[in-house]
Amino acid sequence: MRHVDFSPLYRSTVGFDRLFTMLDSLAQPDQVPTYPPYNIERTGENTYRITMAVAGFDETELAIESHAHALTVKGEKREENADSSEYLYRGIAKRAFERRFQLADHVEVTAASLKNGLLHIDLLRSIPEALKPRKISIAAEPVEAPKAIEAQVVNS
């Protein structure tokens, strides 16, 4: 993918610098982690759900943190006691991970649950009343008849 230069947009916009930085970082595919896999779905007009496949992790080994437009999900397996068994093949990942998601303004985490190896994180976009569009009524002023100016004729 080609690198896109956002510098002309920086000159003509105000407050979108975070968006351009995020778009610029998405253009670098080698930095994108692939574990664990996840889905992002829209479940309603203002609700979203992130579902992550975290098989092998339980609630105590996962941490979810939301701070300053970022959602971070961390997983770290506890050290297990040395089993008497010997693995011939170990294909189940037990590696630690950290996955970050950028959240838009006014998006907050409402709930998180773990079921059947899937971590579900529910999000809600709640726009404050002050920022919602509002209808402004137009008051019609009463129409008054034009005023006539009376002049007196002076006789000389």
Domains defined for the chain, CATH in brackets: 1-32 (no CATH), 34-79+88-127 (2.60.40.790)
Tell me, what's the pLDDT at 75? 92
Handedness of CA 107, 23, 65, 120 (dihedral sign): positive
d(CA 66, CA 122): 12
What letter does residue 66 receive in the DSSP assignment? E
pTM over 0.85: no
pLDDT along the chain (156 residues), means of 10: 64 66 64 80 91 90 90 85 72 82 88 93 87 82 74 72
**Contact indicator for 100, 71 with CB cutoff of 8 Å:** yes
Tell me, what's the pLDDT at 122? 95
Phi-psi region of 125 (alpha: psi -120 to 50; beta: other; left: phi over 0): beta
| CA 97 distance to own-chain centroid | 20
